[in-house]
């Protein structure tokens, strides 16, 4: 799964909500942004990469204009961009912790 969002707060929230909706384990992302001491300190648009098979999850900066969630089915088809808040449109779920 890939998440592209305008900031780390929205990206991590979307990742958590999508993992919950798809019954996947939520993995807090590893910070791969040089110069950012924490995920909360990341400025600007972000890309979150999540792989439930390898237990890989990280956040990095994103330069593109797209926003949403991308899903890959096995080794083949890529689907998306789905809305970030598809499973929590009212944003009523509590914000996830960005501490790391």
Q: What is the pTM of this model?
A: 0.92
More confident residue, 66 or 98: 66
Residues 37-67 have pLDDT tens digits of 999 999 999 999 999 999 999 999 999 999 9
| Model confidence at 98: pLDDT above 90 | no
Q: Extract the tokens encoding 88.
A: 């929590």
| Residue located via tokens 């204009």 | 65
Tally of CB atoms within 10 A around 70: 16
For 78-99, b where at least 16 C-beta lie within 10 A, e where not — what string?
A: eeeebebbebbeeeeeeebebe
């Amino acid at each position: 799964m890939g998440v592209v969002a305008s900031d780390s707060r929205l990206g991590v929230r979307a990742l958590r909500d999508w993992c919950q909706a798809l019954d996947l384990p939520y993995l807090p992302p590893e910070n791969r942004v040089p110069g950012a001491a924490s995920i909360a300190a990341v400025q600007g648009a972000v890309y979150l990469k999540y792989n439930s098979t390898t237990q890989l999850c990280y956040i990095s900066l994103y330069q593109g204009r797209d926003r949403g969630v991308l899903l890959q089915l096995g080794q083949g088809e890529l689907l998306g961009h789905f809305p970030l808040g598809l499973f929590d449109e009212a944003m009523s779920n509590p914000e996830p912790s960005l501490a790391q």
